[in-house]
Structure 1
Amino acid sequence: MILITGAAGYIGSITSYHFLKNNYKVIGIDNISTGNARALEVLNKFDNFKFYEGNFGNLELLEQIVTNNKIDFVVHFAANTSVFESTQNPLKYHDNNVSNMINLLKICEKYDINNFIFSSSAATYGEPKTNELITEDTPKNPINPYGLTKLIGEYILNDLSNAKKEFNFIALRYFNVAGASLIAPLGQFSKSSLLIKIAAECAANKRDKMYLYGNDYNTPDGTCVRDYIHVDDLAIAHIEALKYLKNQKTSQAFNVGYSKGTSVKEVIDIMKKISGNDFKVEMADRRTGDPSSLVASNKKITSLTDWKYSNDNLELICKSAYEWELKI
C-alpha cells in the first residue's frame, strides 16, 4: 500500500490516478490548501483509494493513518512550490517543506516504512555554470528558498538512509511539469505560477494578459529556457521509481525531463498558435530567483529504470493545457 501526500494536488492527483489504474492500493492525504476537491471526486471512484484530509506534518493524523493501514511506500508530493513566493516568505517554505517533512519521516522511522519517493526539483541546481545538460552530479547551489528546501529534504533523506540501512529513497528532480492528463479527467485546477498554465488561461480568456519576466538572459532569444515535461510522463516515472526501490533496495536521485530546452517566448508563441488567440503579453523585470536555463540529462533514469516517455511534444503539452482550461 502506498501513502501519497498532496494527493489532491496537480501532480499528486494525476500520479495517484496512474498508480490506481495499475492496481496499486493508495492512501491519500491532503489539506486541500492548494489541492482541489474535484480531483478527489475522480480518485474516489476507485475502490483501491482511501483519503484522509489534513496536513502531512500532523503527527497525530499520521499515527492514525499508519496504524490503520499497512503502508509499504510513501510518495511525498505535499509542499509549497512557488519560487517567487519562497523569496518573499521563506519561513513558510522551511516550515512546511522541511519541518513537516521531518514529522513525516519520524513516522516512517517509527513504523519501519522504508521506501520513500521524494518530489524534488531542478531548483536544487540553482544557476549551473555550464550550458551542457544538467546531470545528477552537477553541483547543487540553489538560488531561492524553494530550491534550498528541496535540497535540504534530499540531505535529510540521505542522512536517514545512512543511519538506517534498510531505509531507501529516490529523489525525483522534476524539471518543468506541464499539461493536463491525457488518460484522466485531471489537470491543474488551481491558480499557478507555472508558465504553461498561465499562458493557457490567457488563451482561454481567463486572464487579460500575462507578463514576460526579462528578455536579457544569456539564452538564444533572451528569455529563460526550461525543460518542459508532460505530467503523465512524470507520473509514470514515479511508478518506475517505486519498482526500482522494490527490486534494487538502493537510494538514488534522478532527473526527470526530456533533455530538451524551450524558451519562455517559444512557449508563448506555441500557445498562441494552438489557441488562435494572440493574447496580450507585457514585458516586466526579471523575477528574483529565476535561473536562465535548466535542461535535464535523463540518461540516468532511462538507463537504471524502465521509464519511457511518450508525450515529448510541446504542442501536445500546450494543447492539453489549453483544452483543460476550456473545460474547467
Structure 2
Amino acid sequence: MIGGAGYIGSHVARELLDRGDRVTVFDNLSSGLEQNLFPDADGFVKADILDYAALKQTMQRGFDALVHLAAFKAAGESMLKPEKYSLNNIAGSVNILNAAAETGVRRIVFSSSAAVYGEPKYLPVDEAHPTEPENYYGFTKLEIERLLGWYDRLKGICFAALRYFNAAGYDAQGRITGREQNPANLLPVIMETAAGIRAEMQLFGTDYDTRDGTCVRDYIHVSDLAAGHAAALGYLTEHDRSLTVNLGSESGVSVREMLDAARRLTGKPVAVKTAGRRAGDPAALTASSQRARETLGWSARHSDVETLVKTTWNVYRHSAEPKT
C-alpha cells in the first residue's frame, strides 16, 4: 500500500484489513500520519517513491498486488509548481512500475482522478469521455495511466485505474482520525474554518454557469472509495485483465450547498471570503459509475451530503471544543 498512511490510503488499508487481506504500508509521511497506521497491518516502511532501492527492497518481500496512492494532488498548486508534480507523480510512478516489473508484482490498483477529463463536454462524464486535463495535476495522472497501459503490454502488469471524483468524509466508526495536512479540498477547508483552525476560507468563483454560480462536484465518501479499491483488487485477482473505471456518486453538490450543509450540521458560521476563479477549475463535474456497477458490483452507499459532513465534523469538532 504505497501512500497508505494518507487520508485516502489509510481508509483503503482499513478496508483491506477488514476483508482479511495482509497489508504493508509504504509512505514517506510527507502528508500521511503515523496515527493513521494500524497495528494489525503487516508492517510499515518509511521511505519515498523517489528511492528506487527502498521500493525494490520492499517489493522483494513478495506481494500479490500493490495499491498506488502516492501523489501530490492540489490542482491549483500543480499549475504553479509543475516541476514538483513531475518529479513526484510521474518519476515516482516510473520507479514504482520498474520495481514492480523487477520483483514480479503483476497487479496494480492506481488511484487516478477525474481531473484527467478536464472541462466536461457532456454530463455525467463516462470513461469514453475525451481526456483533456485542464490542470497539471490531471496531466500527471493521465500520464501515469498511459505508463500503466504500456507496462501492461510490455511487462504483463495488469492494472485498475480508478478515476474518482472529490473524496470526502471519514470512517463512520471513528477508527481514522488523522486530519489532512494543509488540505486544499473543499470539505476539510470548511471544517478547519468551522473549527476555528482558519479564520476564514476562500470561495473561488461565484459566476460559473451552474445553479448557484459556484462549482459543482461529484463528492464520494472515502469509505465508498476504499470499497472501490478493494473491489478493483478483487477484479484483477479474478480476471487478470486491466480496467479503467470511474468511482463517483453520480450526483453533484455545489460549493454553496456544501457550505450551507456544513453550517446547518455543525452550528458554526463558517466565514467565507469571495475570490476569483482558480485556473483549471471546470464549472461542473459529475460521474457516470455504470461501468463500476457492472464490472465491480460497486456503488456509492455513504456519499450523501449529511454523511459526508457529519463524519468529517466528528474528526474536526474536537478542535472547536472549548479547552478546559
Partner of 2:158: 168
Following superposition, the deviation at residue 313 of structure 1 comes to 1.2
Instruction: Name the amino acid aligned to 2:189.
Output: I
Identical-residue share of aligned pairs (%):
36
Distance 1:297 1:189 in 2: 27
Structure 2 counterparts to residues 83-102 of structure 1, below 5 A: 83-102=75-94
Whether 2:172 is the aligned partner of 1:182: answer yes
Partner of 1:323: 314
Match 2:190 to one of 191, 199, 223: 199
Aligned residue pairs total: 318
Whether 2:308 is the aligned partner of 1:311: answer no
Q: Indicate if the aligned counterparts of 2:224 and 2:302 stay in contact, CA closer than 8 A.
A: yes
Q: Indicate if the aligned counterparts of 1:14 and 1:184 stay in contact, CA closer than 8 A.
A: no
Distance 2:51 2:266 in 1: 43
Q: Indicate if the aligned counterparts of 1:117 and 1:171 stay in contact, CA closer than 8 A.
A: yes
Instruction: Name the amino acid aligned to 1:37.
Output: E
Partner of 1:50: 43
Partner of 1:232: 223
Deviations 1:59-118 (A, max 9, x none): 111122122x21110100001010011001001001100001101100111122110110
Distance 1:279 1:249 in 2: 48
Partner of 2:24: 27
Deviations 1:179-208 (A, max 9, x none): 111134214342200100011111222211
Distance 1:228 1:279 in 2: 20
Distance 2:93 2:307 in 1: 35
Distance 2:228 2:121 in 1: 27
Q: Indicate if the aligned counterparts of 2:113 and 2:162 stay in contact, CA closer than 8 A.
A: yes
Deviations 1:261-292 (A, max 9, x none): 01011000100000111221111011111111
Distance 2:265 2:196 in 1: 14
Name whichever of 197-206 and 293-302 sits farther off: 197-206
- In structure 2, stretches of 5+ residues that fail to align are 320-324
Match 2:36 to one of 34, 39, 51: 39
Distance 1:304 1:327 in 2: 40
Distance 1:327 1:101 in 2: 37
Distance 2:318 2:19 in 1: 26
Match 1:125 to one of 112, 117, 124: 117
Distance 2:219 2:59 in 1: 35
Deviations 1:146-195 (A, max 9, x none): 0000000000001111223x321000011000011113421434220010
Distance 2:133 2:160 in 1: 19
Match 1:270 to one of 258, 261, 264: 261
Instruction: Name the amino acid aligned to 1:180.
Output: Y
Q: Indicate if the aligned counterparts of 1:227 and 1:258 stay in contact, CA closer than 8 A.
A: yes
Deviations 1:36-56 (A, max 9, x none): 12112xx1x21x421000102
Whether 2:15 is the aligned partner of 1:18: answer yes
Instruction: Name the amino acid aligned to 1:258.
Output: S
- In structure 1, stretches of 5+ residues that fail to align are none
Following superposition, the deviation at residue 308 of structure 1 comes to 3.6
Instruction: Name the amino acid aligned to 1:288.
Output: A
Structure 2 counterparts to residues 284-303 of structure 1, below 5 A: 284-303=275-294
| SS of alignment partner, residue 5 of structure 1 | coil
Following superposition, the deviation at residue 20 of structure 1 comes to 1.1
Q: Indicate if the aligned counterparts of 2:56 and 2:103 stay in contact, CA closer than 8 A.
A: no
Q: Which runs of 4+ in 1 moved over 6 A?
A: none
Q: Indicate if the aligned counterparts of 2:248 and 2:300 stay in contact, CA closer than 8 A.
A: no
Distance 1:78 1:94 in 2: 13
Match 2:204 to one of 213, 218, 241: 213
What is the TM-score of this pair, normalised by structure 2? 0.95
Following superposition, the deviation at residue 129 of structure 1 comes to 2.0
| SS of alignment partner, residue 192 of structure 1 | coil
Instruction: Name the amino acid aligned to 2:24.
Output: I
Deviations 1:233-267 (A, max 9, x none): 10010110001001111111110111000101100
Instruction: Name the amino acid aligned to 2:102.
Output: K
Deviations 1:8-63 (A, max 9, x none): 100001111111121111111111111112112xx1x21x4210001023111112
Distance 1:313 1:197 in 2: 16
